[in-house]
Each structure stands twice: as C-alpha cells, then as structure tokens.
Amino acid sequence: MKITEPPICSHCSELMKKMEMPNEAAYDSPFMYVCFNDDCPYYVKGWEWMLEKYNVKTSYRHRINPSTGFESPLPVWSKDAMRDRIIK
C-alpha cells in the first residue's frame, strides 16, 4: 500500500512527519513517515521498556515506509535524535 499523504500516528493521532533516510540505497523510499510527537505513548513507553529490558537509555518512534505501508520502530537515543532529518 503506497502512502502519498502524511499519515496520522496510530498511537497518538498526531500527523506524522517526513524524514529523510540516511542511506537511500538501503530502502525503497528516499524518506519515511515518522511520529515526532514527544508525548506519543509509543515513544514514551519505549524509554521505560528499553531501560527495563536491556538497561539502555534509548527509545523508538513510530515509523511508516510510504512505499509499502510497512510500520516499524525507528530507534532514537535522545529527544532530538533524527530531528535534523525532518523534511519541511
């Protein structure tokens, strides 16, 4: 399923943002849709879960591949991680 409009995050209902991918060759799309809402439950719970399970300070944001509609977590190590890749 190809996605052409920014989707709504299924976890927090915020509009997801376009994010440029570091290495285009590795993906079938030059960008991904990512939820950058810091109050998103998926992201908020990620910190607790990763700390509890793996004792690491990291989390992940909800990501959708626009060419396939495939949803996967985008690992982030800080609140500002990946934000410089947002395409306006």
Residues of this chain that bind Zn ion (CB under 5 A): 9, 11-12, 35, 37, 40
- Alpha carbon distance 54, 8 (integer Å): 30
Shortest Cβ distance from residue 35 to Zn ion (Å)? 3
- Alpha carbon distance 30, 23 (integer Å): 8
Shortest Cβ distance from residue 86 to Zn ion (Å)? 14
Shortest Cβ distance from residue 25 to Zn ion (Å)? 28
Residue indicated by tokens 């709504």: 8
Considering the complex, state which of residue 28 and residue 70 has its C-beta at the smaller distance from Zn ion: 70
